Structure 1
Amino acid sequence: MMDDKDLEAEIHPLKNEDKKSQENLGNLPKTEDNLKNKPVPSRLSRCRTVAFFLSLFICLFVVFVLSFIIPCPDRPSSEDKWRLDYDYAVTYDFLALGDVDRDEVQDVLFLYKNTNSSNNSTRSCADEGFSTPCTFMAAVSGTNGTVLWERPLAQDVAHVKCAVPQTRDSKVSSACVLVGRLGSFMAVNFFTGETLWSHPRSFSGNASILSPLLQVPDIDGDGAPDLLMLSREGQEVSGALYSGSTGYQIGHRGSLGVDGDGVALLHVTRTGAQYILLPCASALCGVSVKGLYKRITGRDDHFKEDPSWENMLNRSAHRRLLHSSGAVRYLMNVPGKTGQDLLLVSSEDCKLLDGQDLVPRWTLGATQVLRKPILGHYKPDTLAVVIENGTSLDRQILLLDLSTGSMLWSQPLPSLPGAPPSTSLMTADHRSAFFFWGLHDPVSANEMDPQDTQHSLYMFHPTLPGILLELANVSANIVAFDAVLFEPSRHAAYVLLTGPASSDVPGLVSLTKHRVRDLVPGSRVIHLSEGSSDSDQAIRDRFSRLRYRSEV
Structure 2
Amino acid sequence: MMDSKDLEAEIHPLKNEDGKLQENLENQAKKEDSLKSSPLQSRLSRCRTVAFFLSLFICLLGVFVISFIIPCPDRPASQGTWRINYDTAVTYDFLATEDINRDKVQDVLFLYKNTNSSNNFNRSCASEGFSSPCTFVAAVSGANGSILWERPAAQDVALVECAIPQPRDSGASSACILMGRLGSFIAVNSFTGETLWNHPSSFGGNASILSPLLQVNGYIYSGSTGQQIGHQGSLCVDGTSGSLLFVTRAGAHYILLPCASSLCGHSVKGLYEKVTGRDNQLRRDPYWEDMLNTTTHRLLLHSSGGIRYLLNVPGKSGEHLLLVSSEACVLLDGQELAPIWTFSAAQVLRKPIFGRYTPDTLAVVIENGTGIDRQILFLDLNTGVVLWSQALPGLPGDPQSASLPTADHRSAFFFWGLHELVAANQMEPRDAQHSLYMFHPTVPSVLLELANISANIVAFQVALFEPSRHAACILLTGPAGPDAPGLVSVAKHKVQDLILSSRVVRLAEGGPDSDQAIRDRLSHLRYQSKA
Give the secondary-structure state (helix, strand or coil) at the position aligned to 2:254: strand
State the shift of 1:243 in Å.
Answer: 5.4
Matches within 5 A, 1:283-294: 283-294=262-273
Q: Which range is displaced more, 79-88 or 329-338?
A: 329-338
2:207 alignment counterpart: 210
1:444 alignment counterpart: 423
State the shift of 1:305 in Å.
Answer: 2.1
Per-residue deviation, residues 346-391 of structure 1 (Å, max 9, x unmatched): 1111111111111111111142102000001111142100000001
After superposition, the Cα gap between the structure-2 partners of 1:90 and 1:260, relative to the gap in structure 1 and judged at 3 Å, is closer
**Distance in 2 (alpha carbons) for counterparts of 1:42 and 1:429:** 60
1:9 alignment counterpart: none
The size of the alignment, in residue pairs, is: 503
Of 300, 303, 326, the match for 2:305: 326
Q: Does 1:361 align with 2:340?
A: yes
Of 458, 476, 487, the match for 2:466: 487
* Contact in 1 for aligned 2:333/2:339 (Cα 8 Å): yes
Amino acid corresponding to residue 410 of structure 1 in structure 2: S
After superposition, the Cα gap between the structure-2 partners of 1:292 and 1:549, relative to the gap in structure 1 and judged at 3 Å, is closer
After superposition, the Cα gap between the structure-2 partners of 1:436 and 1:43, relative to the gap in structure 1 and judged at 3 Å, is same
After superposition, the Cα gap between the structure-2 partners of 1:60 and 1:170, relative to the gap in structure 1 and judged at 3 Å, is farther
**Distance in 2 (alpha carbons) for counterparts of 1:550 and 1:109:** 18
Give the secondary-structure state (helix, strand or coil) at the position aligned to 1:539: helix
**TM-score, structure 2 normalization:** 0.87
Amino acid corresponding to residue 230 of structure 1 in structure 2: Q
Of 457, 477, 488, the match for 1:509: 488
* Contact in 2 for aligned 1:260/1:278 (Cα 8 Å): no
State the shift of 1:56 in Å.
Answer: 4.1
After superposition, the Cα gap between the structure-2 partners of 1:292 and 1:254, relative to the gap in structure 1 and judged at 3 Å, is farther
Per-residue deviation, residues 270-327 of structure 1 (Å, max 9, x unmatched): 2222222222222222222233333333333353322222211238756244111111
* Contact in 1 for aligned 2:404/2:412 (Cα 8 Å): yes
**Distance in 2 (alpha carbons) for counterparts of 1:207 and 1:287:** 25
Percent of aligned pairs with the same amino acid:
69
After superposition, the Cα gap between the structure-2 partners of 1:210 and 1:343, relative to the gap in structure 1 and judged at 3 Å, is farther
**Distance in 2 (alpha carbons) for counterparts of 1:241 and 1:289:** 14
* Contact in 1 for aligned 2:183/2:203 (Cα 8 Å): no
State the shift of 1:531 in Å.
Answer: 3.1
1:103 alignment counterpart: 103
Give the secondary-structure state (helix, strand or coil) at the position aligned to 2:350: coil
2:518 alignment counterpart: 539
1:271 alignment counterpart: 250
2:216 alignment counterpart: 231
After superposition, the Cα gap between the structure-2 partners of 1:522 and 1:42, relative to the gap in structure 1 and judged at 3 Å, is closer
**Distance in 2 (alpha carbons) for counterparts of 1:273 and 1:263:** 20
**Distance in 2 (alpha carbons) for counterparts of 1:539 and 1:60:** 45
* Contact in 2 for aligned 1:344/1:353 (Cα 8 Å): yes
Q: Gapped runs of 5+ residues in structure 1?
A: 1-23, 216-226, 233-237
**Distance in 2 (alpha carbons) for counterparts of 1:243 and 1:138:** 21
**Distance in 2 (alpha carbons) for counterparts of 1:472 and 1:206:** 39
**Distance in 1 (alpha carbons) for counterparts of 2:29 and 2:264:** 107
2:189 alignment counterpart: 189
2:371 alignment counterpart: 392
Q: Gapped runs of 5+ residues in structure 2?
A: 1-24
**Distance in 2 (alpha carbons) for counterparts of 1:57 and 1:457:** 57
Q: Does 1:113 align with 2:113?
A: yes
**Distance in 2 (alpha carbons) for counterparts of 1:431 and 1:45:** 60
2:220 alignment counterpart: 240
After superposition, the Cα gap between the structure-2 partners of 1:321 and 1:260, relative to the gap in structure 1 and judged at 3 Å, is farther
Give the secondary-structure state (helix, strand or coil) at the position aligned to 1:182: coil
After superposition, the Cα gap between the structure-2 partners of 1:260 and 1:325, relative to the gap in structure 1 and judged at 3 Å, is farther
Matches within 5 A, 1:11-22: none
Matches within 5 A, 1:466-485: 466-485=445-464
Per-residue deviation, residues 186-229 of structure 1 (Å, max 9, x unmatched): 2222221122222235xxx3665432x222xxxxxxxxxxx312
* Contact in 2 for aligned 1:332/1:342 (Cα 8 Å): yes
Give the secondary-structure state (helix, strand or coil) at the position aligned to 1:520: helix
After superposition, the Cα gap between the structure-2 partners of 1:522 and 1:56, relative to the gap in structure 1 and judged at 3 Å, is closer
**Distance in 1 (alpha carbons) for counterparts of 2:379 and 2:183:** 43
State the shift of 1:330 in Å.
Answer: 1.1
After superposition, the Cα gap between the structure-2 partners of 1:414 and 1:469, relative to the gap in structure 1 and judged at 3 Å, is same
State the shift of 1:497 in Å.
Answer: 0.6
Per-residue deviation, residues 489-514 of structure 1 (Å, max 9, x unmatched): 22021111111110222111111111
Give the secondary-structure state (helix, strand or coil) at the position aligned to 2:257: strand
1:373 alignment counterpart: 352
**Distance in 2 (alpha carbons) for counterparts of 1:438 and 1:131:** 39
Give the secondary-structure state (helix, strand or coil) at the position aligned to 1:393: helix
State the shift of 1:459 in Å.
Answer: 0.9
2:443 alignment counterpart: 464
Q: Considering only aligned residues, what root-mean-square deviation do their CA atoms show, in Å?
A: 3.0
State the shift of 1:253 in Å.
Answer: 4.6
**Distance in 2 (alpha carbons) for counterparts of 1:368 and 1:467:** 26
* Contact in 2 for aligned 1:91/1:499 (Cα 8 Å): yes
After superposition, the Cα gap between the structure-2 partners of 1:447 and 1:229, relative to the gap in structure 1 and judged at 3 Å, is same
**TM-score, structure 1 normalization:** 0.84
* Contact in 2 for aligned 1:460/1:469 (Cα 8 Å): yes
Q: Which range is displaced more, 39-48 or 384-393?
A: 39-48
State the shift of 1:79 in Å.
Answer: 1.1
After superposition, the Cα gap between the structure-2 partners of 1:454 and 1:46, relative to the gap in structure 1 and judged at 3 Å, is same
**Distance in 1 (alpha carbons) for counterparts of 2:518 and 2:56:** 54
Matches within 5 A, 1:142-153: 142-153=142-153
Per-residue deviation, residues 150-173 of structure 1 (Å, max 9, x unmatched): 11222222222222789x999862
